[in-house]
Structure 1
Amino acid sequence: MRHLVVASVLSWICVPLAGAASDVGPHARGLVEQSQAQVKVDPERSRQLAEQALQQLATQPDADLQVRAHLLLCDYHSERDREAAERQLAAARALVPQLQRRGLEAGVLGCEGALHEGAGDNARALALYEQGVALAEKAQDEEMQADALFNRGHLRGVRGEFSNGLADLKKARASFERLQMPFHVLTVENTIAILYNRMGDHVQARRYYESALKAQAAAGLQREQAVTHYNLGRSLENLKEWDAAQQAFDQVLKLSRELSFPRGIGYALRGQAAVQNARQQPAAALALLDQAADLQKTLPDTRLHAQIQLQRGIALRLLRRLPESAQSLQEALKIFSSGESLAEQAATHGALAQTLAEQGDWRGAFEQQSRFKAASDQLLTRQLDERFATLKVEYDNTARDREMVLLQQSQKAAEHALAQERLAGRLLTAVILLAAVLLVVLGVLLWRHRRTSAAMRGLAMTDELTGLPNRRAALTELEAQMAKPSPDCALLLADIDLFKAINDNHGHLAGDQILRAVAGAVRAIGGDVTHSGSACLARFGGEEFIAVLPKTALDEAVGAAERFRERVAALDVSRHTPGRHVTISVGVTRLVAGDTLSSLLRRADEALYAAKDAGRNRVVSRVAPVSVLDPIDAEDDATPSVLPA
């Protein structure tokens, strides 16, 4: 039910552009606006008003109002009847050429994306949401752009791209605040809480949900309360606070029945069944799941089907109906895998391992347990990396202490998770031994465990896209250099010029290819400074790269940076970005006595931004902190080493 938030945003199209369709009678426009206002309160009333508006507009057409009405109906039917929603989408799409408010086309793309998301095709949904963002931005329609950013941010969070998802959601929230749309701000904050929940910060997510519920109750937004109560229930489920989770799911069921909201009822029953499974009441859980499954058959929601099958598999295992349990879990796993839902994949692998172990299929149980561990480790690594990326986006001079606290919390969470995984491995080994599994299987298990641990250590310090060391590795190397009795190193900080324009104009796939090409040029820096055999060359985050060059003089580092800049400028990227060359700006500095990690990075960053301000595609060096230099001397020192061709 987490993606129910997305379905409601299609109804956010509230205010037409000034002067558009001024010849249409006020009654049709009023019906559309009343329909929009009722979406979060009484969806059935919203549908009736939208249909009345379309009946009036049939005799006095207005493409903008008609598209808005069709999108409201698409929103309504997307939670109930996929074929009806597709008919509304087709009607809206046919009117796109006649639109005066071009940004409304982004809403049509959002409607189509929501249908694909409901069907489990998250990759196609994300592509449509990204088209919507670009289209709304081009049309300079802030409301529709905020809508599209919301859709994209939510789905990025589902796929585990937490930092990018949070960035989209915060931009959407800022736009809705400027547009004075407080209810939409609440919905965005509710979705931010969903991402915190997926990042493992269930306590923070719970605070967001409880705050949102108070505001929604005061505004009478019953439908939104049902969604938020469910999300709160999921947080409580993750925290294993079963009594509180039961109360939250009971509220979802009560509100959904009052609203005749079948999807909400289905998710509420799933939540209640999860609580019953946790309380070792599998028969009660199955009865609830049967009701949810009957509802789900009429709904365009494969994700709900998978969630039902996961809980059904757990209940059947508790009832010792092991073949049926395995069948349900395998069906759920297939859907979660196609939707790239990593957390749900991990949970399903773990449940399936238990079922197969109880069946006596030790080889299958071991395989599923290994996949559970791999998925859990991947999720944990992604959560940690995405938290680092989020901190980088929000980094400023006053945030360093907060960053260290978060890093410590992340480390404790990682240690706890790894301890739990080791415990699970020992328990599984004991089961295998008690079942008289051959000793050779135990040997294979230990060998694979060591190989996986070694691979995970490598992944934790490697950027997945470029294959370079990541931000964590670079910071670790810097700290090691600074801890030496006689620190001696230079630092290069590079940033691809106008990288956002590359992503916006050519797509993120082209942007990824550019990052890989620049990474190839980065690898040559170590060879440029021959005596720095231990140089650390890394992707620092986004489009930034960093090089830590031990025992390297400033002029040598500047020379290496210049050659790096020239190599990038000479790259042939025409197949990825036709008509555009790629350049970089580089900041160079050198570690001096008294430097801290913060001061050294800040000085490199200042040099980098001086290069940007001086016209980009150049190298700028700084040799000492600004605070100890005379202003005139400081400015003289920050001159570019090379002017662009």
Structure 2
Amino acid sequence: MRRVVSVWVVWSVLSPCVWAADDAAADLRALVEQSQAQVKVDPERSRKLAEQALQQLAARPDADLQVRAHLLLCDYHSERDRASAERHVAEARALVPQLKRRGLAAGLLGCEGTLHEGTGDNMRALALYEEEVVLAEQAQDDEMLADGLFNRGHLRGVRGEFASGLADLKRARAMFERLQMPFHTLTVENTIAILYNRMGDHVQARHYYESALKAQAAAGLQREQAVTQYNLGRSLENLREWDAAQEAFDRVLRLSRELSYPRGIAYALRGQAAVQNARRQPDAALALLDQASEVQKTLPDERLRAQIQLQRGIALRQLHRLQESAAALNDALKVFAGGESLAEQAATHGALSQTLAEMGDWRGAFEQQSHFKAANDQVLTRQLDERFATLKVEYDNAARDREMALLQQSQKVTEHALAQERLAGRLLSAVIVLAAILLVVLGVLLWRHRRTSAAMRGLAMTDELTGLPNRRAALTELEAQMARGEPDCALLLADIDLFKAINDNHGHLAGDQILRVVAEAVRAIGGDVAGRSACLARFGGEEFIAVLPKVPLDEALRAAERFRERVAALDVSRHTPGRRVTISIGVTRLVAGDTLSSLLRRADEALYAAKESGRNRVVSRLAPEPATGDDTTGDPTPSVLPA
């Protein structure tokens, strides 16, 4: 009996700690998953969530979650900052021996391959992608395997290995569909269209791109829309539909600038320059290419630099700056040759041949024309061979599918015969099964009822526009604090200055955006009083409230002042051009004998005093001290912190 009692006591002490640890791990896992969900929607948001996860994981290490966060950051920086991407790979590799999910090590190989591909070292990149596929298969990690197949299929397509590339991509697409990862499925389909484009089937590629754009727009994948729109522009460029290509590249530039996506900006400028070259406007093309080069310098993408140099060489030839044209084209040719990009090599040889001919270097022009013809013939031969191989693979797959269908039909006949024999036995257990189902249904209904009740309570306590707790939640928290009689409970009541003018002059949609932006600043108050369970809510209209338990008045005033400064520093030019947003704040604290009405009235008086004293102020108002013989007024004196 003593042992039973001892075990029960130990469990009662330790179980809350175990539950708290489980909750913290679940929160960190959710943070990483949110970051992954934002990769193709909002890359900046994804980066911030991943960095936040790593900061929190420093205190609660979890190798699997840490490596996943490093992989997400490697994916982000691979298009922007090679050194940062390499740092995340190195930090993740140090955690590999601690991994429970061994397949994550394959993802590191994929990140390294992407970095080598960015420098034009396609041979090394392909070797790493091969290792990624093998390691993911050994670990039986379908998600990492699908990612590895996608990487390998894409690079095989760049190298002109269309049949094997398509086989990898179609296998990756099937795996992503089975894993219910629709955003990744769309990305794979976009890459399949790129291969069709490289195979010379520009019309089919255009169809794929336009279909993908509709799906991406419906899913809100802005970054993916920019990528697909650019690929559509390249197809239109190959079809020589210059007006449509210009429109596509303009959309890429607009989307990329909205997303602060430098790689998309550089590619869009290159596309616009190609259109200007085709229209015989080399000066406009060079201006666009200068902008593209400035952006490209910040990116680890040698192939992009070579594409810019190709267009620069074409523009310079049109301006009869022949020496500069030849230098730019030779520079581009080195990169394309190193990356085994046959189609781009052929285009560069052709452009260089024209430049050398205009320079009078007929021998050099003839040699470049010969290289152009050889590369072009090789591209055409490979396209035909790969198309034939693709058709053969599709035919073989169709034949295997028919054979599998016949086998499945035969198996169904056999199973039907066996089912008839087992029917009698099943009838005997039917009653038991039905009873069990009934119990399960009742349990599910009870669970759903509890979940729905909890969800309804959450909705009732949450402001729909800002996601903050609403007035009801704030008043509930105030009443709880009054019931506990906690000392040093501060109250902040804030109001956006001249908010009606914002709605009148800029529209209610802009007003809503301002409320959301200010709400983000409100959330930061919790960090200003770290360690305290603050209740931060939208009180109604343009008013916000913060209930700060166990926070002395002077600390509450400092938090309010930081909140005011944070709001005043917000950049809202996107929503209200030429105007900044300020906020007035009233501060008070709970004292013995306060009622909800008296406390809110005092906070409101302080807020009103802040408005009256010129707005963009923090004003405090305390409860009147008990009357004495030396003080007959009893009026509280507000404390004003000017802007």
TM, length-normalised to structure 1: 0.58
Larger-gyration structure (1/2): 2
Provide the residue aligned with 2:86 in structure 1.
Answer: 86
* 1:347 to 1:186, Cα distance in 2 relative to 1, 3 A: same
Q: Distance in 1 between matches of 2:397 and 2:120?
A: 42
How far 1:42 moved relative to its partner? 1.3
Q: Quick check: 2:35–2:50 contact (8 Å CA) kept in 1?
A: yes
Please name the residue that 1:45 is paired with.
45
Match of 1:117? 117
- Maintained 8 Å contact 1:73/1:88: yes
Name the SS for the 2:160 alignment partner: coil
Aligned partners of 2:289 and 2:230: how far apart in 1? 16
Tell me whether 1:311 sits opposite 2:311 in the alignment: yes
CA drift of 1:397 comes to 10
Q: Is the contact between residue 40 and residue 183 of structure 2 (CA under 8 Å) also seen in structure 1?
A: no
User: Which deviations, in whole Å up to 9, do the C-alpha atoms of 1:388-430 show, x marking residues without a partner?
Assistant: 111111115989xxxxxxxxxxxxxxxxxxxxxxxxxxxxxxx
Q: 1:314 to 1:48 in 2, by over 3 A?
A: same
Which residue pairs with 1:157 in the alignment?
A: 157
Query: Could you say which residue in structure 1 is the equivalent of 2:59?
Result: 59
Unaligned runs of 5+ in 2: 1-20, 400-643
Contact 1:337 1:345 survives alignment (8 Å): yes
Query: Does structure 2 retain, via aligned residues, the 8 Å contact 1:71–1:111?
Result: yes
Contact 1:38–1:46 (Cα < 8 Å) also in 2 = yes
**Does structure 1 retain, via aligned residues, the 8 Å contact 2:31–2:50?**
yes
CA contact (8 A) 1:129 1:148 kept: yes
Structure 1 pair 227–398 and aligned structure 2 pair: CA distance change class (3 A): closer
Task: Please give the per-residue CA displacement for 1:302-350, whole angstroms capped at 9, x wherever unaligned.
Answer: 0110000000000000001000000000000000000000000000000
Amino acid at match of 1:62: D
Q: Is the 8 A contact 2:133 2:148 kept in 1?
A: yes
Whole-angstrom distance in 1 between the partners of 2:146 and 2:241: 35
Aligned to 1:219: 219
Match for residue 322 of structure 1?
322
Distance (whole Å) between structure 2 residues aligned to residue 141 and residue 264 of structure 1: 31
Q: Counterpart in 1 of 2:429?
A: none
In 1, Cα distance between equivalents of 2:111 and 2:157 = 19
Aligned position for 1:25: 25
Q: Indicate the RMSD between aligned Cα atoms, in angstroms.
A: 1.3
- What SS is found at the alignment partner of 2:226? helix
Structure 1 residue 40: deviation in Å? 1.1
Corresponding position of 2:108: 108
CA distance in 2, matches of 1:355, 1:23: 67
Counting aligned pairs with the same residue, the percent is: 83
Corresponding position of 1:346: 346
Matching residue of 1:289: 289
Rounded to whole Å, the distance in 2 between the matches of 1:24 and 1:39 is 23
- The letter of the residue matching 1:208 is Y
CA deviations over 1:66-102 (Å, ceiling 9, x no partner): 0010011111111111101100110111111111001
Task: Write the distance in 2 (CA, Å) between the matches of 1:139 and 1:205.
Answer: 35
1:385 aligns with 2:385: yes
Partners of 1:305 and 1:160 lie apart in 2 by 20
Shift in Å, 1:36: 1.0
For 1:242, the equivalent position in structure 2 comes to 242
2-structure distance, mates of 1:251, 1:106: 35
Query: Distance between the aligned counterparts of 1:390 and 1:56, measured in 2?
Result: 48
Partner AA of 2:253 in structure 1: L
Q: CA deviation at 1:38?
A: 1.2
TM-score, length of structure 2 as denominator length: 0.58
Residue matched to 1:435: none
Secondary structure at the residue paired with 1:280? Answer: coil
* Separation (CA, whole Å) in 2 of partners of 1:131 and 1:197: 27
Give deviations 1:514-555, integer Å, cap 9, x for gaps.
xxxxxxxxxxxxxxxxxxxxxxxxxxxxxxxxxxxxxxxxxx
Residues 303 and 336 in structure 2, CA contact (< 8 A), matched pair in contact too: yes
Contact 2:353 2:368 in 1 (8 A): yes
Distance of 1:322 and 1:24 partners within structure 2: 65
Deviation at 1:143, TM superposition (A): 1.1
Q: What is aligned with 2:267?
A: 267
Q: Quick check: 2:117–2:125 contact (8 Å CA) kept in 1?
A: yes
- The runs of 4+ residues in structure 1 deviating greater than 6 Å are none
Q: In 2 relative to 1, CA 173–254 (structure 1 residues): closer, same or farther, beyond 3 Å?
A: same
CA 1:342–1:397 in 2, change beyond 3 Å: closer, same or farther?
A: closer
Q: What is the 5 A alignment of 1:375-454? A: 375-395=375-395
- Whole-angstrom distance in 1 between the partners of 2:49 and 2:396: 49
Task: Give 1:543-554 correspondences, 5 Å limit.
Answer: none
Q: Deviations over 1:442-501 (max 9, x none)?
A: xxxxxxxxxxxxxxxxxxxxxxxxxxxxxxxxxxxxxxxxxxxxxxxxxxxxxxxxxxxx
Equivalent position of 2:233 in the other structure: 233
Distance 1:261 1:331 in 2: 26
SS of aligned partner of 1:394: helix
Alpha carbons 1:24, 1:62 under 8 Å: kept? no
Give, in angstroms, the shift of residue 215 of structure 1.
Answer: 0.4
Aligned-residue offset at 1:26: 1.8
Give the counterpart letter for 1:66 in structure 2: Q
Q: Which amino acid aligns with 1:370?
A: S
Amino acid at match of 1:88: H
CA distance in 1, matches of 2:338, 2:25: 47
Partner of 2:298, secondary structure, is coil
